[in-house]
Structure 1
Amino acid sequence: MKQLLSAAVGLSVLTTGPLSGYAQSNSTPVTSRHAMVVSIDHDATDAGVEILREGGNAVDAAVAVGFALAVVYPAAGNIGGGGFMLIRPGSGKLAHGKAKFLDYREKAPASASANMYLDAEGKVIPKMSTAGGKASGVPGSVAGLTFAERHYGRLGLAKVMAPAIRLAKDGFVLEEEFAKVMHSNQLTLMPASHRIFQRDGDFYKAGEVFKQPELAATLERIAADPDDFYKGKMADQIAEFEAANNGQITKADLAAYEVKEREPLEGHYRGLQVVTSPPPSSGGIVLLETLNILSGYDLPKLGGDRSVGQIHTITEAFRRSYMDRGDYLGDPDFNKMPLKQMADPRYAAAWRATIDATRPSPSATLVRPAGFMPEPPKVTATGHESPQTTQYSVVDADGNAVSVTTTLNFFFGSGVTVEPLGFLLNDEMDDFTSKIGVPNGFGLIQGPANAIAPGKRPLSSMTPTIVSEPDHHFLWVHKPGKLRLVLGTPGGSTITTTVANVLISVVDNGLNIQQAADAPRFHHQFLPDVLQFDKYFADAATINALKAVGYKTQQQSTFDEKAPGVWGDCENIERDPNTGMLIGGHDFRHTFGKAAGY
């Protein structure tokens, strides 16, 4: 361990402040006493704060932000996609004092089949699962957001959707960064998308007001009767559009869609309670397994935040938990998964014993500890999730917390805008395994549990997570512990590693949530066996030290739609355990979002 630890001590950084050598937009975090909203778009954040000020709870505000993002951030915010919502009560009144997890992930249409994206020779047809009519799963966002409002909100759908309707009808001022994003080639695939978002090639510019009257009318109809989207005239319009544009979503598919209220996963780390996402998210169980492995280390003794010693140890935990992800996880309605075994501290200890303190364990040689897990499937398959997703976090004055991750998959989803309703459809079918053994662009390994089947939900990496002090139970009385963190991020396969690193940076290394959001990122996912760094990881000496002990490394350095150069967009909240103040961590990697509260 001498070589590694000497490098770690020499390169220890970020123990009390941000890493030198990388840009950040806000070294002073936003704080508030009562309530907080953080999202990738300032107009969406303002919509959430508006609802909180009008007496709404955290769920009301989360629903308002979700619909607002469908207007102001159509690259990932949506009503034509899906997502996950994690709700944790603070006062004990919301959700009867229990954490709730809403799964409104998209579903494969009834006509879907395992080989639907293969040609006559059994080869994957390029772009068929990512663009155009056959790329879309049945959207769940409208069902999920309206379910949340009906069951856990306070103000009613019309009230919480009012900001989104106003933004669509009256328009909003385009920021420069997002005006450039609307140049996406994905929006050239369909005439309606090209017309609405690109003005038929006369591209919108920063400072212009962008109005969406068709979407405004659709949102008004949803606010009046959300069932219309799945079972009424709007469902007829969607099905007719799909039939006319080589799609596969039928009115029967829409009518059959249902929100799943699932039991959140729960674990502990450094004496804190970690409530996180169950399958079909892979992220929650991978996060818990990673933290269980790391619980046996005193990370600060290995060096500061982003030091060689910490990166090595955390990476080896990632490598092992991602190996299990690939072999075992899928849609819980179709697969039985060994979640208890993966979360078992004894299993984590057995994995920990295989970690070499001085060098990496090559993924090809890694052997799972015997006696804990069932035999994995014999055949593995590759699959992925796009990094173009979005996260937002809300805490209200009663301490209720909501973490939401939602997506269309790629930027602007399938590129298909439903006429005349004005919203984009997802390309979420690409998250399934298109063909056993064929690697995708991310190289992420999954098992056949994620094969395409009618009515199935694709495996996801989305990891909305809430960390708190432990709950208290006395007889029939349940008292939630004090909130510490509301976490989540987009980033495809890097989602779970980013959430883990933010959590570790705050809990182990003493960073505040803004510093943790701004910190440069590293990622390992078992295969490909490469330790990746984002473009803001400016400490070349640390990367070189990791190369010297045996890691193959790669640093993202460009920005375009296919190689974004950075991953993730942490829009997170911390409650200071000493002062009780809420601290907003808006990720500096995107310029048009913000944290705000009162």
Structure 2
Amino acid sequence: MLRLTALPLSLFMLFNAACVAWGGNAPTRVRTAMVVSQSEIASQVGADVMQAGGNAIDAAVATAFAMAVTHPSAGNIGGGGFLVFRPADGEPTAFDFREQAPAAAHPLMWLNEKGEYDYERHHESHQAVGVPGTVAGLHMAWKTAGTLPWKSLVEPAVRLAADGFVVGDGLERSLKEQIPRFEQYPASLAQFTKAGEPYLAGEILKQPELAKTLERIRDQGPAGFYEGETARLLVHAMEANGGLITLADMKAYQAKRRTPLIGSYRGYEVIGMPPPSSGGVGVIEMLNILEGFDLRAAGFGSAANLHRMSEAMRRSFADRAHYLGDPDFNPEMPVASLISKEHAAELRKTIDATQASISTPESFVWPYESVETTHFSVVDADRNAVSLTYTLEYAYGSAIVVPGGGFLLNNEMGDFNAAPGMTTAGGLIGTKPNLALPQKRMLSSMSPTILAKDGELFMVTGSPGGRTIINTVLQTVLNVVDHQMNAQEAVDAGRIHHQWLPSRIQYEGQEFSPDTLAILRKMGHALYPISKQGAAEVIIVNAKTGQLEGGVDRRRPDGGAVGY
């Protein structure tokens, strides 16, 4: 969408309506099958798998392993994530491969010897590394619903790592920015630079140690990662640097199959990820609140809608902090209540149409995560669909490459709450459900989401972006359902974010009218501009033409929608 920021509110709304009427930015359109991801190379790998007879799960597995090579800032085998699968026939299912705390974890582990919170220990140390889940999760999904041989799905990633691939403009800039972090770890510097000099676009990046690790995974399955040589290399790195993960922690890790959350919005079925992801709860709860407003009539980007959306976000994120965590450690979470229409109706009553609410760590005026993740969406010829989001937490995770293993480690332990009771206006949360404990999964904002209409697949969406993920995914749904945008328009449209604390609306600085922002300030909203939020990757099934429409988020380069 074009960017105009000096229009009066009425003209700005007319401009946005015209963009929709004219077709705006055209999506990628194909007839049969499609993968949309932050790595065009990996999207091609997934599309090739489907052309070779594989289904959406096969393509997702191959795409994910390829992204561990071509999109190292978030694609991974040293991290974890979530996958929502909607088969063309049968019930949807979800796969939880979130990282897990090692056996030595405890709620006070982020406090120093003086009892003060230690940010570096929490986010930038070997202690911040959780037991990785990606390999186990991809294998579980493949074993459940895959059709092609496992080895054939991992092999493209092996070849990309061993033979190398062409560095794109986005990866060049990304790697260059990370050199100061890589300099702390010799294996990281060796893998992602040329003896300390940055790779340039057009050059070939080879990762031979990663190729060897991927070969073990290809030939041995999860045992090639959680046991044997790879596990020993990882644990040796832990032992040498004060990390907590042991061989026993590695061997004990298991992915989990979970029942997706099902909601509805204006006649569409909404399928989301249950805890320990907060994404499904958050997206469905906010949609339920917003269903009571006529968003289309108010128009995209209007002050009325931005106010309503931010108030729904504020309330949902407060619920997230108070109630959600790993379900295996919090069996009494009121998930059904949180996603109910009744709960949304009560929250909606507390929204003042003209005034912003106030949120503080101590009180509410209504009754009662890093931005570097990656997402991709897959639809196959039979209309099986996969929405998969996985991450290392920060860009390049901990920035620690396992010496001899060639893969980056996450810093996902940073998603556990800081310490009991440590909730601050700046955004630290200290509520009980998400405190660190042995073998506990940390709460996540990842929100892989699928929509259906009248029993037919309609939309696959998701995004990276830490805590902004939930709100980015929400807005892709609103853009399509309420504002009738196509897939690319829905991805391109400006975004906002509110997460309860800090109490402010974060917004993409060039995407909204100054008049609109002035109205929001008069309502009492604090505003915080940013350059970009998220990187949604969307597929829509056009019911009239039968085509697949792909929307690629150009906020981050090197992505691509590939299909046939």
Q: What are the superposed Cα offsets for residues 278-332 of structure 1, whole Å, 9 maximum, x if unpaired?
A: 0001111111111111111111122x11111211111111111111111111111
Q: Summarize the Cα distance change of 1:72–1:19 in structure 2 as closer, same or farther, 3 Å threshold.
A: farther
- Pick one of 119, 133, 136 that aligns with 2:126: 133
Alignment map for 1:156-555 (pairs within 5 Å): 156-183=149-176, 184=178, 185-226=180-221, 227-302=223-298, 304-335=299-330, 336-364=332-360, 366-369=364-367, 385-438=369-422, 443=427, 445=429, 447-470=431-454, 481-555=455-529
525-534 vs 257-266, which deviates more? 525-534
- Pick one of 74, 77, 80 that aligns with 1:76: 74
Q: Please state if 1:574 is matched with 2:540.
A: yes
Q: What are the superposed Cα offsets for residues 468-519 of structure 1, whole Å, 9 maximum, x if unpaired?
A: 014xxxxxxxxxx111110110111111111111100100111111101011
In structure 1, what is the Cα distance between the partners aligned to 2:167 and 2:407?
A: 18
In structure 2, what is the Cα distance between the partners aligned to 1:188 and 1:353?
A: 53
In structure 2, what is the Cα distance between the partners aligned to 1:224 and 1:18?
A: 49
Q: What are the superposed Cα offsets for residues 153-172 of structure 1, whole Å, 9 maximum, x if unpaired?
A: 11021111121111111111
- 1:240 Cα deviation (Å)? 2.5
In structure 1, what is the Cα distance between the partners aligned to 2:151 and 2:523?
A: 59
In structure 2, what is the Cα distance between the partners aligned to 1:99 and 1:576?
A: 21
- 1:9 Cα deviation (Å)? 4.9
Q: Contact conserved, 1:86 with 1:404, CA < 8 A, in 2?
A: yes
Q: Contact conserved, 1:132 with 1:415, CA < 8 A, in 2?
A: no
Q: Contact conserved, 2:9 with 2:515, CA < 8 A, in 1?
A: no
In structure 2, what is the Cα distance between the partners aligned to 1:274 and 1:178?
A: 34
Q: Contact conserved, 2:130 with 2:413, CA < 8 A, in 1?
A: yes
In structure 1, what is the Cα distance between the partners aligned to 2:230 and 2:82?
A: 24
Q: Please state if 1:124 is matched with 2:121.
A: no
- 1:337 Cα deviation (Å)? 0.5
Name the amino acid aligned to 1:127.
E
Partner of 1:12: 13
Q: Contact conserved, 1:86 with 1:276, CA < 8 A, in 2?
A: yes
Q: Summarize the Cα distance change of 1:86–1:453 in structure 2 as closer, same or farther, 3 Å threshold.
A: same
In structure 2, what is the Cα distance between the partners aligned to 1:434 and 1:323?
A: 17
In structure 1, what is the Cα distance between the partners aligned to 2:394 and 2:83?
A: 20
TM-score of the two chains, using structure 2 as the length reference: 0.94
Q: What are the superposed Cα offsets for residues 566-595 of structure 1, whole Å, 9 maximum, x if unpaired?
A: 220111111112222100010011221111
Q: Contact conserved, 1:391 with 1:404, CA < 8 A, in 2?
A: yes
Q: Summarize the Cα distance change of 1:439–1:534 in structure 2 as closer, same or farther, 3 Å threshold.
A: farther
Q: Summarize the Cα distance change of 1:325–1:387 in structure 2 as closer, same or farther, 3 Å threshold.
A: same
Q: What are the superposed Cα offsets for residues 89-108 of structure 1, whole Å, 9 maximum, x if unpaired?
A: 11x1xxxx111110000000
In structure 1, what is the Cα distance between the partners aligned to 2:509 and 2:560?
A: 22
Structure 2 unpaired stretches of 5+: 1-7
Partner of 1:589: 555
Q: Please state if 1:63 is matched with 2:64.
A: no
- 1:214 Cα deviation (Å)? 0.8
SS in 2 for 1:127: helix
- 1:117 Cα deviation (Å)? 2.0
SS in 2 for 1:56: coil
Q: Contact conserved, 2:87 with 2:384, CA < 8 A, in 1?
A: yes
In structure 1, what is the Cα distance between the partners aligned to 2:129 and 2:443?
A: 15
In structure 1, what is the Cα distance between the partners aligned to 2:428 and 2:545?
A: 42
- 1:19 Cα deviation (Å)? 12
Name the amino acid aligned to 2:354.
T
Partner of 2:4: none
- 1:442 Cα deviation (Å)? 6.8
In structure 1, what is the Cα distance between the partners aligned to 2:563 and 2:351?
A: 43
In structure 2, what is the Cα distance between the partners aligned to 1:440 and 1:57?
A: 46
In structure 1, what is the Cα distance between the partners aligned to 2:152 and 2:77?
A: 17
Q: Contact conserved, 2:161 with 2:207, CA < 8 A, in 1?
A: yes
Aligned length: 550
Identity rate, percent = 44
Q: What are the superposed Cα offsets for residues 16-57 of structure 1, whole Å, 9 maximum, x if unpaired?
A: 52699xxx9x92210011101000011111110110110000
Q: Summarize the Cα distance change of 1:50–1:254 in structure 2 as closer, same or farther, 3 Å threshold.
A: same
Partner of 2:3: none
In structure 1, what is the Cα distance between the partners aligned to 2:233 and 2:359?
A: 49
Alignment map for 1:32-111 (pairs within 5 Å): 32-90=30-88, 92=89, 97-111=90-104
In structure 2, what is the Cα distance between the partners aligned to 1:118 and 1:444?
A: 13
Q: Contact conserved, 2:373 with 2:391, CA < 8 A, in 1?
A: yes
- 1:352 Cα deviation (Å)? 1.1
Q: Contact conserved, 1:444 with 1:493, CA < 8 A, in 2?
A: no
- 1:413 Cα deviation (Å)? 0.8
In structure 2, what is the Cα distance between the partners aligned to 1:164 and 1:513?
A: 28
Q: Summarize the Cα distance change of 1:126–1:528 in structure 2 as closer, same or farther, 3 Å threshold.
A: closer
Q: Contact conserved, 1:61 with 1:394, CA < 8 A, in 2?
A: yes
- 1:441 Cα deviation (Å)? 10
Q: Contact conserved, 1:387 with 1:490, CA < 8 A, in 2?
A: yes
In structure 2, what is the Cα distance between the partners aligned to 1:439 and 1:73?
A: 34
Q: Summarize the Cα distance change of 1:441–1:574 in structure 2 as closer, same or farther, 3 Å threshold.
A: farther
In structure 1, what is the Cα distance between the partners aligned to 2:307 and 2:506?
A: 12
Q: Contact conserved, 2:263 with 2:269, CA < 8 A, in 1?
A: yes
Name the amino acid aligned to 2:314.
R
Name the amino acid aligned to 1:265.
L
In structure 1, what is the Cα distance between the partners aligned to 2:557 and 2:418?
A: 35
- 1:524 Cα deviation (Å)? 1.0
- 1:536 Cα deviation (Å)? 3.6
- 1:440 Cα deviation (Å)? 8.1
SS in 2 for 1:595: strand
In structure 2, what is the Cα distance between the partners aligned to 1:403 and 1:467?
A: 10
In structure 1, what is the Cα distance between the partners aligned to 2:412 and 2:514?
A: 37
261-270 vs 9-18, which deviates more? 9-18
In structure 2, what is the Cα distance between the partners aligned to 1:312 and 1:502?
A: 17
TM-score of the two chains, using structure 1 as the length reference: 0.89
Q: What are the superposed Cα offsets for residues 59-117 of structure 1, whole Å, 9 maximum, x if unpaired?
A: 00000010000000111000000000100011x1xxxx111110000000001111122
- 1:444 Cα deviation (Å)? 5.6
- 1:180 Cα deviation (Å)? 1.5
- 1:198 Cα deviation (Å)? 1.9
413-422 vs 268-277, which deviates more? 413-422
